[in-house]
């Protein structure tokens, strides 16, 4: 029990009565806050609830912990004996808000340059497994976790609001006994409206996705075309002009922490034509976030573009962000090779490793900021090299792999439910794949009736099947979401253990390099 009262006798009474009253499997959630003890309860007639134990009369006293929870939802105060009262409050938005208020570590905050990892959760049920992975990997206190992470695209497909994503992560972290700081990532934001929605929900990490403003045609454009594209840039929003840009970048090679980066006029024009409008859009959204007065940190993502980000382009982006007064805590370049959903890196690993050293040098020299690894799920061959290249100044972003681990549970204990998800994958893949980088071949994925029950879990280890199931999550949840969530509730321990095992493989390579970077 932590954050306790100064009254040793009260602390002892609270602790003893709490252990008497709580279910044994929920002991790890027990926290003491002032004169109250709070814990999570997962079973029984009440369902999922937060329990609050405090001296009699606390529910009526302004500022008391029990009073805060009593106002959060329907709950009845009961006599717990020994001069103590007990309140059970069903989980919900009010309960989650109360938890963030009385347990400040659950209120998301900027994490800074600490090694960090984002855990996407499309069902709102994965956070206990993510916490277990942090503990088993020895990442607690080393890697900063972002349990609430969701893009607007994912929220749309799962029909969850930004506030629901936040509240589910809060409840899950409390349930699992997490007592250290957390972040919250509003991922792949493109509009001011989406930014403001996520600010209101309490997100603190804002990933700006300016991909619609990146001009990929500049990659192969000739000099005349590039001049035309450069002339059309929104120079007033960039607070700049071509002559000034040339004077800054063509005066001589740049020193990026020992890596020399030299521009010629063509290279500079191509970088500006490709990314100039994207930088203006990023600066616009930065002003929107900053104008709210809320605590925040910014990530820029240019990974969803057609061509790898060169070191020259990375340096241009970094230095122009700095000139525009747009600090970033992390930046996601488009690395060489293919970072597809749900599978390991595809491409020339040696070429990727060679390029990581240069990108890490740019991030150190012109930031400092973390390199961000998007589509980071299941890139097991990459984790060690990027952790080493950055010396831990890195952010790992995962998403749909947690959903696949939920399907793994279904494949083992509810084969017919899993077959229905696979059938939806076959039906919806060609439509649902359109917004993702995917190499799956649908013809390589067996039809639901072709696989015996005992072999269904093996489909979660097949790249083609993984990707088909991964990108059709929205369609599957529309049809099967209620059944899948009920199944995971019934098999909560198996779900948590599967997630923990899977994410230890993600986290462990980063731990030797993890921590706060200066």
Q: Which of 164, 168, 299, 340 is catalytic?
A: 299
Sheet (strand 36-41) strand order: 31-33, 36-41, 49-55, 84-90, 77-81
Coil, strand, or helix at residue 146? strand
Q: Is 192 exposed, middle or buried (0-12, 13-18, 19+ CB in 10 A)?
A: middle
H-type alpha helices, 139-191: 152-158, 162-175
How far is the C-alpha of 160 from the C-alpha of 152, rounded, in Å? 9
Pairing of strands 330-332, 183-189: unpaired
Q: Which of 111, 151, 219, 218 is nearest to 516 (CA)?
A: 111
Give 81's strand partners: 84
Pairing of strands 183-189, 84-90: unpaired
Give the CA-trace dihedral at 186, 392, 354, 382, to 10 degrees: -60
Coil, strand, or helix at residue 38? strand
**Chain centroid to CA 334:** 18
How far is the C-alpha of 117 from the C-alpha of 144, rounded, in Å? 6
Give the CA-trace dihedral at 229, 231, 235, 238, to 10 degrees: 40
Backbone angles phi, psi at 12, to 5 degrees: -65, -45
Q: Is 187 assigned a catalytic role?
A: yes
Q: Is 299 assigned a catalytic role?
A: yes
Contact 100, 107 (CB under 8 A): yes
Q: Which of 168, 187, 215, 297 is catalytic?
A: 187
Q: Say whether the peptide bond before residue 457 is cis (omega within 30 degrees of 0).
A: no
Q: At what angle do helices 415-432 and 463-471 cross, to 10 degrees?
A: 80
Question: In sequence order, what DSSP letters do the residues of 358-422 get, joined into one string?
Answer: HHHHHHHHH---EEEETT-TT-HHHHHHHHHHHTT-EEEEE-THHHHHHHHHHHHH-HHHHHHHH
Pairing of strands 49-55, 36-41: antiparallel
* Residues identified as active-site: 187, 299
């Amino acid at each position: 029990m932590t954050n306790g009262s100064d009254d040793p006798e009260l602390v002892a009474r609270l602790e003893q009565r709490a252990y008497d009253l709580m279910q044994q499997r929920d002991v790890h959630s027990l926290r003491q806050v002032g004169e109250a003890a709070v814990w999570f309860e997962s079973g029984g007639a009440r369902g999922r609830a937060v329990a609050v134990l405090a001296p009699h009369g606390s529910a009526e006293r302004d500022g008391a912990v029990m009073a805060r929870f009593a106002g959060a939802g329907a709950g009845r105060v009961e006599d717990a004996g020994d001069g103590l009262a007990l309140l059970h409050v069903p989980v919900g938005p009010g309960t989650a808000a109360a938890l963030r208020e009385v347990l400040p570590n659950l209120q998301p905050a900027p994490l800074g340059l600490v090694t960090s990892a984002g855990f996407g959760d499309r069902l709102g049920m994965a956070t206990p497994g993510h916490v277990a992975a942090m503990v088993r990997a020895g990442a607690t206190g080393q890697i900063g976790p972002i349990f609430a992470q969701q893009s607007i695209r994912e929220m749309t497909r799962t029909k969850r609001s930004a506030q629901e994503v936040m509240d589910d992560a809060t409840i899950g972290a409390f349930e699992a006994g997490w007592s250290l700081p957390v972040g919250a990532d509003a991922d792949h934001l493109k509009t001011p409206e989406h930014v403001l929605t996520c600010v209101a929900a309490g997100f603190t990490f804002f990933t700006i996705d300016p991909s619609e403003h990146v001009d990929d045609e500049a990659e192969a454009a000739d000099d005349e075309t590039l001049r035309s594209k450069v002339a059309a840039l929104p120079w007033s929003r960039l607070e700049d002009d071509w002559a000034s840009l040339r004077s800054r970048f063509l005066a001589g090679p740049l020193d990026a922490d020992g890596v020399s980066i030299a521009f010629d006029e063509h290279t500079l024009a191509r970088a500006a034509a490709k990314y100039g409008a994207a930088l203006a859009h990023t600066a616009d959204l930065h002003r929107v976030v900053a104008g709210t007065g809320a605590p925040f940190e910014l990530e820029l993502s240019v990974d969803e573009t057609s061509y790898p980000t060169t070191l020259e382009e990375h340096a241009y982006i970094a230095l122009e962000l700095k000139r525009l007064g747009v600090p970033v805590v992390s930046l996601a370049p488009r690395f060489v090779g293919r970072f597809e959903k749900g599978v390991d890196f595809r491409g020339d690993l040696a070429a990727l490793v060679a390029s990581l050293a240069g990108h890490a040098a740019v991030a150190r020299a012109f930031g400092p900021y973390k390199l961000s690894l998007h589509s980071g799920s299941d890139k097991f061959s990459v984790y060690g090299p990027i952790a080493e290249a950055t010396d831990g100044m890195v952010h790992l972003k995962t998403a749909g792999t947690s959903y696949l681990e939920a399907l793994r549970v279904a494949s083992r204990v509810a084969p017919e439910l899993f077959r229905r998800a696979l059938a939806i994958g076959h039906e919806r893949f060609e439509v649902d794949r359109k917004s993702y980088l995917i190499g799956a071949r649908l013809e390589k994925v067996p039809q639901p009736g072709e696989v015996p029950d005992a072999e269904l879990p093996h489909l979660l280890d097949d790249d083609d099947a993984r990707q088909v199931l991964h990108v059709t999550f929205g369609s599957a949840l529309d049809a099967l979401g209620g059944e899948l969530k009920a199944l995971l509730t019934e098999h909560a321990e198996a779900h948590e253990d599967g997630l923990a095992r899977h994410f230890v493989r993600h986290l462990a390579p980063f731990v030797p390099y993890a921590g706060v970077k200066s």
